[in-house]
């Protein structure tokens, strides 16, 4: 897996480091196991309508999405099922990688402490690292600010055969930029259309785009930020700026709502993932990734003619 960070260099930022273990949610060795679901769980193919019920849609309202939703799952069943979902995702990734004709871009957006890093650790475990490209988008550098807002983004989109994951993304340019007034309204207001056109370009060229909003509640964010302050293992993740963003919560919710409404499209859907419970969040993300890869339906390329039956000496 290649990981990159774009934006001004931040010496306090660590990416993965030498094993961020305190809240690793699953044992990486388990993820390739052929685990069957256990315990009580809805039986239908879509895990109780997870994909359909998480779709945002252009009339989306946060009121319709409960951050504590479980979709009828209990914790033990979900934890087992996420492993088998990841195993399916890994099989599909193998085909995508071999085929090299299509790509998948996964955009992760959320408030602080909603679990973007947790999703990366959990759901991407077990994938072939050679086929995954993760980019974290931080505060733009001087060079990045000297270009149009999509410049730094476009160069990180996945190549054919790859799964690209954006930890934050071009959406920050209509979220933090809007909420903190980092650009005039007449600038950021045009960006919804620019974003829609950009994503259309990617899709038309063979890159599927899926956008995930990890929906954490205000109260759960408070709890998790407090845990970060209180726990020596997690304190490194905490920044004072997180509190400023927290104070602006209603403005962020309004900005997310408009961004999601205006850029949801069948070819580049938004999903709202309940994020107050890590085990629900992981299950839903894994299921959506599986769904998106199944839509792409990648296939092994045909071998060179006459290979079958060749004896290797
Ligand atoms: P984190 O992902 O929590 O490590 O923090 C990255 C920070 O970069 C967040 O506070 C984002 O709001 C900020 N950021 C990301 N993209 C932009 C952008 N285009 N303009 C300004 N700030 C940004
Ligand atoms: Mg942060």
Domain range list for the chain: 5-21+49-296
pLDDT at position 13 over 60: no
pLDDT at position 32 over 50: no
Q: Is 140 in the pocket of ligand 1 (CB under 6 A)?
A: yes
Q: How far is the CA of 139 from the centre of ligand 1 (A)?
A: 5
pLDDT digits (tens, 9 = 90+) for 230-248: 999 999 999 999 999 999 9
pLDDT digits (tens, 9 = 90+) for 50-69: 999 999 999 999 999 999 99
pLDDT of residue 45: 60
Q: How far is the CA of 198 from the centre of ligand 2 (A)?
A: 26
Q: Is 281 in the pocket of ligand 1 (CB under 6 A)?
A: no
Question: Which runs of consecutive H residues, i.e. helices, occur in the chain?
Answer: 50-54, 75-99, 116-123, 142-145, 151-154, 176-179, 185-188, 191-204, 218-230, 240-247, 249-263, 278-296
Q: What are the backbone angles phi and psi of residue 103, rounded to the nearest 5°?
A: -140, 165
**C-alpha Rg value of the chain to the nearest Å:** 20
Pocket test for ligand 1, best of 138, 183, 249, 251 (most atoms within 8 A of CB): 138
Q: How far is the CA of 138 from the centre of ligand 1 (A)?
A: 4
Please name which ligand lies nearest the alpha carbon of 168.
1
pLDDT of residue 17: 28
Phi-psi label, residue 104: left if phi above 0, alpha if psi -120 to 50, beta otherwise: beta
Q: Which atom of ligand 1 is nearest to the CA of 175?
A: 12
CATH superfamily of 5-21+49-296: P-loop containing nucleotide triphosphate hydrolases (3.40.50.300)
* Cβ atoms < 10 Å from Cβ of 88: 15
pLDDT digits (tens, 9 = 90+) for 123-157: 998 899 999 999 999 999 999 999 999 999 999 99
Given pLDDT bands bounded at 50, 70 and 90, which one contains residue 94? very high
Helices (H) and strands (E) in the chain, counts: 12, 6
pLDDT of residue 30: 39
User: Is 0.85 topped by the overall pTM?
Assistant: yes
Please name which ligand lies nearest the alpha carbon of 224.
2
Give, rounded to a whole angstrom, the gap between the first and last alpha carbons of the chain: 34
Q: What are the backbone angles phi and psi of residue 264, rounded to the nearest 5°?
A: -70, 135
Q: Is 88 in the pocket of ligand 1 (CB under 6 A)?
A: no
Q: What residues pair up with 105 in beta bridges, in sequence order? A: 164, 209
H or E segment at 132? strand 132-137
């Amino acid at each position: 897996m290649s990981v990159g960070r774009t934006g001004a260099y931040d010496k306090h930022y660590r990416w993965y480091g030498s094993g961020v273990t305190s809240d690793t949610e699953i044992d990486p060795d388990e993820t390739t196991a052929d685990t069957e679901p256990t315990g009580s769980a809805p039986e239908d193919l879509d895990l109780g309508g997870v994909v359909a019920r998480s779709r945002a849609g252009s009339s989306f309202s946060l009121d319709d999405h409960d951050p504590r939703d479980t979709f009828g799952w209990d914790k033990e069943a979900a934890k087992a099922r996420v492993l088998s979902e990841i195993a399916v995702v890994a099989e599909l990734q193998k085909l995508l990688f071999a085929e090299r004709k299509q790509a998948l871009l996964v955009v992760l957006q959320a408030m602080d402490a909603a679990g973007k890093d947790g999703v990366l650790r959990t759901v991407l475990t077990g994938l072939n690292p050679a086929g995954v490209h993760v980019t974290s988008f931080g505060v733009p550098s001087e060079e990045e600010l000297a270009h149009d807002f999509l410049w730094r983004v476009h160069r990180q989109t996945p190549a054919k055969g790859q799964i690209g994951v954006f930890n934050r993304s071009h959406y920050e340019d209509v979220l933090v930029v809007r909420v903190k007034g980092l650009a005039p309204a007449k600038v950021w207001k045009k960006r919804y259309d620019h974003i829609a056109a950009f994503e259309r370009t990617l899709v038309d060229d063979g890159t599927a785009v899926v956008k995930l909003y990890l929906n954490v509640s205000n109260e759960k964010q408070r709890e998790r930020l407090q845990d970060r302050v209180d726990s020596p293992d997690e304190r490194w993740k905490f920044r004072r700026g997180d509190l400023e963003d927290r104070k602006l919560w209603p403005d962020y919710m309004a900005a997310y709502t408009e961004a999601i409404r205006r850029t949801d499209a069948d070819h580049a859907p938004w999903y709202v993932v309940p994020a107050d419970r890590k085990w629900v969040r992981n299950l839903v993300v894994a299921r959506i990734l599986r769904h998106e890869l199944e839509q792409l339906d990648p296939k092994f390329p045909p071998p060179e003619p006459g290979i079958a039956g060749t004896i290797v000496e």
